[in-house]
Amino acid sequence: MRVIAVINQKGGCGKTTVAVNLSACLAVQGRRTLLVDMDPQSHCAVGLAVPEDQIEASIYDVMISWDGESRTELKHVVWQIAQNFDLAPSSIELAALEQQLAGKDRREDYLRNVLHEYAGGYNYVVVDCSPSVGLLTFNALRAADDVLIPVETGYFSLHGLQRQLETLDVLKEQCRQDVAIHILASMYDVRTKLAREILTELRKQYNGRLLQTIVNFNTKLKEAASFGQPITEYDSSSKGMGDFQALAKEMMAFEEAHAGRSRLHQLESNLETISQSAEKLIAHSKEAIGAKPAIVQKTEKTVAEKIDNFYGVRQKHDRVEFATLCPGAKEVCVAGDFNGWDPHTARLSLNGRPGRWMVDMPLQQGRYRYRYVVDGQWQQDPYNEKIELNEFGEYNSVLEVV
């Protein structure tokens, strides 16, 4: 069994599209494949026409009952999608897993344990992650042999990629975990100059990690998802199908190259180190997205550096500062409960480092939900780990003013 986690903190960069269609193509190649949806948004079920109201149990139930007396086994939650292709769907309860596992030992290992116990019959397990960094993504990382980072070929993605790679490097170095990290250029539109330049830059900076396969922008992939089908069923002669077949073959070639290595043995012998490092990594990830774990206070940055580096939301007496990175944006606003979700009134202005946008506003005590509006596009705050699903199936960021 080889576990491939599809991860990127950036929302909408194509993770689910990659996870679904890579799984489908591995299955077509005769590999028994399980797709695990670790995103509470449940987009895999939607993209594969699994009726959400009929999902009685999900990967959440398997994980939460893992160390209990009455366990839910993986086979009880799995849906067969096609020959060789099964889905372990997600559910909204997954969003609460982090709190529910608080205080448990090795809580970052639940998915890994579950897969080792129940998923031995699969050749591949592909894990689709949510765009936020937290315990769910960390569980996927800890279970993974391969990490696949789809990078939409645009400037914002490059910034997110750098942070993602730093996080993964910490994992690799500190945990001594044998994870292979692959970057996948996705949604590539050869007709645009920016996309071509980004690809050249990716090749320059990440040579060795960048996969040869490129997933092109292909409307058939979008249509397939809206019809609830993988590309293998929706249009097997499309360019999208060709790209994902190539990706499946490239990933299979890595497996052959790794054959013979006993990763499990290595992990078992290093469990203690890994567990300690896991906490450090969570702290590192939180630092990257603007939270303040204890480890941040121990770093030796100057106060000026800290201020300049700050992204996220923070309270200063009766005011709250919102800071985010949007290089190249023309207008960045914040809309939320505090301003009637008006996408135009609360404007951020350029402040500090290039591309850093900031506003501070007076806010009374309370709990607020908000999103940024960047050149008219709504998006969650990528530096705030506190999120909740909204009625559109997207994430609102959450802020508590005390």
Ligand X SMILES: Nc1ncnc2c1ncn2[C@@H]1O[C@H](COP(=O)(O)OP(=O)(O)OP(=O)(O)O)[C@@H](O)[C@H]1O
Positions in the binding site for Mg ion (CB under 5 A): 15-16, 43
Which of Mg ion, ligand X, none is residue 214 near (CB under 5 to 8 Å by kind)? none
Query: Which amino acid is residue 356, in one-letter code?
Result: R
Integer-rounded Cα radius of gyration of the chain: 21
Question: Could you tell me if 4 and 143 are in contact, meaning their C-beta atoms sit under 8 angstroms apart?
Answer: no
- Among 76, 104, 203, 222, indicate the residue that binds ligand X (CB under 6 A): 222
- Residue given tokens 């005769």 in the structure block: 30
Rounded-to-integer distance, Cα 242 and Cα 317, Å: 56
In terms of CB distance, is 76 or 222 closer to ligand X? 222
Closest distance between Mg ion and the C-beta of residue 208, in Å?
27
Which of positions 4-43 make contact with ligand X (CB under 6 A)?
11-17, 39, 43
Closest distance between ligand X and the C-beta of residue 362, in Å?
32
Q: How far is CA 12 from the centre of its chain?
A: 10
Which of ligand X, Mg ion, none is residue 107 near (CB under 5 to 8 Å by kind)? none
| Contact status: 225 vs ligand X (CB under 6 A) | yes
| Contact status: 215 vs ligand X (CB under 6 A) | yes
**Considering only CA atoms, which of 226, 47, 236 is closest in space to residue 126?**
47
- Residue given tokens 């992990």 in the structure block: 267
What is the residue-wise DSSP string for 128-161?
E--SS-SHHHHHHHHH-SEEEEEEESSHHHHHHH
Rounded-to-integer distance, Cα 366 and Cα 383, Å: 20
Q: Which stretch binds ligand X (CB under 6 A): 62-70, 218-226, 283-291, 343-351?
A: 218-226
- Among 131, 230, 312, 382, indicate the residue that binds ligand X (CB under 6 A): 131
Closest distance between ligand X and the C-beta of residue 223, in Å?
8
In terms of CB distance, is 221 or 313 closer to ligand X? 221
User: What is the sign of the dihedral through the CA atoms of 182, 136, 232 and 252?
Assistant: positive
Which of ligand X, Mg ion, none is residue 3 near (CB under 5 to 8 Å by kind)? none
Residues that bind ligand X (CB under 6 A): 11-17, 39, 43, 131, 186-187, 215, 217-218, 221-222, 225
